[in-house]
Every structure is written in C-alpha cells, then in structure tokens.
A = this chain, B = another copy of it.
Amino acid sequence: MARRPESQEPAQELDARKAAILEAVVTEHIDTAQPVGSSSVASSERVGVSPATVRSEMVALEREGFLSQPHTSAGRIPTDRGYRYFVDHLRSGTLGPTQQHTVREFFDTVHGEIEDVLEQTSTLLSRLTQYTSVIVGPSHTHATVRSVQLVDLGPRRVLVVAVLSDGAVEKRTLDLDHDASVADVADASAQLNGLLVGTSLDQRVEVPSRAGVVAELIRAATGALFDEAPILDGDQLFIGGSSRVADAFETVDTVRSVLGILEQELVVVSLLRDIIDSGLSVSIGSEHGIEPLSACAVVVAPVSIDGVPAGAVGLLGPTRMNYPEALLTAQAVSEQLAQRFGGEDSRRA
C-alpha cells in the first residue's frame, strides 16, 4: 500500500517553467493519448520558450522521474509521479455549467430509498465523466436496532426483520425444527423487541437460556441476525458504467484484469477507504499497490453525513484521465449526496 502522506515525503517543488512544461505535457497527453513533443509544448500558452529549451528541461524532468520516453525518438509521456505532481498542484476550478445542471436536475428528480439513489447516482457519474464510477454506501455496523419483528411465512418458516436506526432493513429466514403457533411468534416478536432495540449489530447480546418454543425462536432470531450480519453485508458497493473500462484501455488483457478487480467488492471498497484514510483524493497507477490496476487512476470524494464519514464516491479511469473534471464531478456529487441524506438542517435547506 503506497500511502503517501505529504508530511513524510514533501512534494518536490519544480520551478515555474518546469511546472508549466510538465502541466503542458500532462494536459496534452490526457487529451491526445500520444507522446508529447517539445515543439507542441513550446507552442503552449504558458510556456514562453523555444522547443530547444523545452527539450533540455524535459531531460531534467525525465531525470527527476516526472516524464518518460516510450523510445528515443518519441515525445514524452507523464509518469505516475508526473500525474501526481499535476493533481497536487491543480488550480481548483469549477464544474462546467452543463454538468452542474445535470447534477442538480438529477438530485431534484431522483427519489426512492438510499440504495436506489446510490445505484442511479453511479450511473449518473459514469455518464457525466465517461469513466467507471464506484460508490460505497454507508456501513450499518454502528447503527442500532429500532425494531425487530417476526413474521410467519408458512409451515416452520419465520422471517426476522430488523429495522436499524439509519433506515436499513436486515432480514433473515428461520427454518424451525418445531411448529410455532401464531401466539408463540407474536410473543417471541415482542420479547425480541425488548431485548434488541437499542443494540447495534456488531455487539454481543445476552440471550436468557430458557427452554421452550418461544425461547427457541428468540435464540434462533438473535443468532441469525448477529452472527451473519457483518459477514455478508459489510458495505454496499454500486458500480456504474463498467463498460467504460473498455473505452479506457486498448488491450483486452487490461480490460479483463480491471474488470476482474471490480468484481471483488472487498478489494474495491478497501481501496477507496485506503485512499480516503491517507488523506488523499486521487490514487495514481502503482500508488495503490493493486497490480492489475496499475494502468488506472482512482479519484475519490468522501461522503460525510452530518459530519460522520458515510461512504465514498469514486471514479476509475486510465492514469491519463481528466483529473480536474473527475475531481470536481465526484466532489459535486458527494456534496449532493451528503445534503440529501443529511439531518434536518441540511435537508430542509
């Protein structure tokens, strides 16, 4: 895991001209996907020198690890480090008006449960940016139980439904060994409520070890709820526009390996978490240490609901992705999500 806290490895500063040249190379390469030559850089606005001068500077930038050359007679392409410098020194801009409008309109019209909204948001993000989007929903592990109910489903089948304080619903089917009467189920349901309301799904619960059908029901229900919850649920991941992966890369092999990673929810979720935890918003190429993603960059914006970290919004593209736009889009969407699912204050605002 290549965390890169600024404090330990101070971002090496480049003089203004080198910085301008690097920026020109990065933007041009992001645009054309081709190696960038000295003359093209020299003709850029913010670089006021001749190609010859640019060349000598490029040699220096290459020596310092910001640029590389596919082969001797080719232009330069940015290295991961070059992109890193670029994003670390981005002048913050604003999202284009069209995109702003699309985002606003989307959040004005979208409705439904949080899962549905996140699902659709992931599609929005991918449509806006042309990259694959990745959204991690809030984790339920710290929510507390608001209500538990047993519902009779048929012979020897009972469903436990638990509503959590954050509005999530957990359900478990119980297959019983003995018949349970309607009264038994109601009784157990009431007792479960008293027992579990207020607890959180990751804590242990003391179940009185009495005998009898009702006690049996209670034990089965708590067991099902508390033992299976953290394993299967964990975090919810929504991926939008996975077909964009095929746009981002030229070889089927790369596409395959990136898709392969996207299939592993756990890996993706912890990747996003790692990036956020290390205080960054972008992870480039080999920085994140996931080999199959070494041709990818990931842009992340954390989503905080009422000040509490509650998920993240991410975009996955090639290292030569459009960082400024991706960052702004992710941030805009993350803010909207925070507002939408925040407390009264922000919701009524």
Q: How far, in Å, is A222 (CB) from chain B's closest CB?
A: 16
- Find out whether the CB atom of B163 lies under 8 angstroms from the CB atom of A228: no
- Find out whether the CB atom of A116 lies under 8 angstroms from the CB atom of B263: no
- Find out whether the CB atom of A113 lies under 8 angstroms from the CB atom of B171: yes
Q: How far, in Å, is A130 (CB) from chain B's closest CB?
A: 12
Closest residue of B by beta carbon distance from A116: B232
How many residues of chain A are within 8 Å of chain B by beta carbon?
46
Q: How far is the CA of A228 from the CA of B151 in the complex (A)?
A: 23
CB contact under 8 A between A165 and B146, given known A247-B256, A251-B252:
no
A173 within 8 Å of B (CB atoms): yes
Q: How far is the CA of A167 from the CA of B152 in the complex (A)?
A: 9
A304 within 8 Å of B (CB atoms): no
Q: How far is the CA of A246 from the CA of B243 in the complex (A)?
A: 11
CB contact under 8 A between A259 and B232, given known A113-B171, A167-B153:
no
Closest residue of B by beta carbon distance from A261: B243
Q: How far is the CA of A139 from the CA of B255 in the complex (A)?
A: 33
Q: How far is the CA of A153 from the CA of B113 in the complex (A)?
A: 14
- Find out whether the CB atom of B167 lies under 8 angstroms from the CB atom of A159: yes
A147 within 8 Å of B (CB atoms): yes
- Find out whether the CB atom of B252 lies under 8 angstroms from the CB atom of A246: yes
A108 within 8 Å of B (CB atoms): no
CB contact under 8 A between A250 and B247, given known A169-B171, A242-B259:
no
Q: Which residues of the partner chain B approach A163 to less than 8 Å between Cβ atoms? A: 149, 151, 159, 161, 171
Q: How far, in Å, is A237 (CB) from chain B's closest CB?
A: 12
A13 within 8 Å of B (CB atoms): no
- Find out whether the CB atom of B153 lies under 8 angstroms from the CB atom of A146: yes
A344 within 8 Å of B (CB atoms): yes
Q: List 12 A-B contacts (CB under 8 A).
A: A111-B228, A112-B228, A149-B161, A154-B165, A159-B169, A161-B163, A242-B259, A243-B262, A245-B259, A246-B253, A252-B252, A259-B259
Shortest beta-carbon contacts, A-B, top 5 = A246-B256, A243-B259, A243-B260, A151-B163, A147-B151
Give A residues with C-beta under 8 Å from B: 111-113, 116, 146-147, 149, 151-157, 159, 161, 163, 165, 167, 169, 171-173, 175, 228, 232, 241-243, 245-247, 249-253, 255-257, 259-260, 262-263, 344, 347
